[in-house]
Structure 1
Amino acid sequence: MADFEWPWQYNFPPFFTIQPNIDTRKKQLEAWCSLVLAFHRHNKSYSLDITEAQTTPLFYNKKINNILY
């Protein structure tokens, strides 16, 4: 199986921080929704364990040492 292709936002640190501007936040949340769905579709995963999610590559980017808050 091919590796998952991360979108450009994934390596952009502000993507992992809730944005104060309402328009920016809306776009950010839409991008997160698309990312989560694409990631799970790619991995053929049908559930998301919130307690374990923070340690997965989906919500923790080792490259920029950032976790979704």
Structure 2
Amino acid sequence: MTTDTLPEDTTAPTPSGPRSVRAVFSTEDFRLMRAAVVHYLKQPEVQDGPESVKYSNLYHRLGRLG
């Protein structure tokens, strides 16, 4: 395979430079997501389930971000 047949690299930065980083979620979004997670965790079928630890960890991570 020669270099003229290689696929174009689409991950390279554009000549104008890298794009600026923008926040996707606001502080209020994190509060809402925490409230939704805690509401979900209180459901009887979730409380005793194996994934409840994962949701609990998510709740605490969201608290650190918001």
Name which one, 1 or 2, has greater alpha-carbon Rg.
2
What TM-score range do you get, normalising by the shorter chain?
A: 0.3 to 0.5
Given the two structures, how large is their TM-score scaled by the length of structure 2? 0.36
Greater helix share, 1 or 2?
2
TM-score by length of 1: 0.35
